[in-house]
Amino acid sequence: MNEQIKQIADRLRGLREDLAISAEEMATSCDLYEYEYLKYESGEKDIPIGLLHTISSHHGIEMTTLLFGDEPRMNSYYVTRKGQGGALERSKEYKYESLAAGFSGRKGDPFIVTVEPSDTPFPTNAHKGQEFNYVLEGSMTLQINGKKLILEEGDAIYFNAELNHGMQARNNKQVKFLAVIV
């Protein structure tokens, strides 16, 4: 099991215990079955960013607290220097760099997402809110509710994140994009 995923799972379990709610109640707040939620909380299954966003929004905590274990403190501004954002490697294909982890009370969560080429089936997820993606380097296929869209460098899309969606690198090359979850 990826150590970062295990740490996030431990923080997720700790949050639930601090809130004194059952796994069933937490699962219901995420529109999941209890057995699905428990796979995330145990670290058995990778926890999608969108699910962490849903949990943090619903329970009034910062998503980066779940991701990195640090409570954001800044409320006037927060600077992230190039390549210095909080890094999270979700899988060998997906890497996230948080661009606003230290800003408290964010209305959105901006990330630089790097997706490596892969032959694995299209990974998809859905979460509350909306999402904005802007391709910085490379090309990707974005699937939304089964419809596949090709996005090239410089292309952007804003969409309802409650629709099942996922990204995949194209042309056997890495893709890097700015993702903002609101």
Alpha-carbon gap, residue 165 to 120, rounded angstroms:
15
The confidence score (pLDDT) of residue 110 equals 96
Q: Has residue 78 been placed in a domain?
A: no
> 106 and 165: one domain?
yes
> 164 and 102: one domain?
yes
> 63 and 92: one domain?
no
> 50 and 120: one domain?
no
**Domain range for residue 11?**
3-68
**135: which strand partners?**
177
CA 28 remoteness from chain centre: 19
> 160 and 102: one domain?
yes
Residue ranges in the chain modelled with pLDDT below 50: none
The confidence score (pLDDT) of residue 73 equals 82
Alpha-carbon gap, residue 179 to 83, rounded angstroms:
15
> 111 and 51: one domain?
no
The confidence score (pLDDT) of residue 49 equals 82
The confidence score (pLDDT) of residue 149 equals 97
Cβ burial 52-74 (10 Å sphere, 16+ → b, else e): bbbbbbeeebbbbbbbbeeebee
Residue 150's alpha-carbon distances to 61, 99, 105, 128, in angstroms, are 34, 25, 33, 23
Q: Has residue 73 been placed in a domain?
A: no
Q: Has residue 129 been placed in a domain?
A: yes
> 90 and 171: one domain?
yes
CATH of the domain at 48: 1.10.260.40
Alpha-carbon gap, residue 39 to 37, rounded angstroms:
5
> How many structural domains is the chain composed of?
2
The confidence score (pLDDT) of residue 47 equals 85
> 45 and 105: one domain?
no
> 173 and 104: one domain?
yes
> 92 and 169: one domain?
yes
For residue range 151-171, list pLDDT tens digits in order. 999 999 999 999 999 999 999
Q: Has residue 160 been placed in a domain?
A: yes
pTM of the model: 0.82
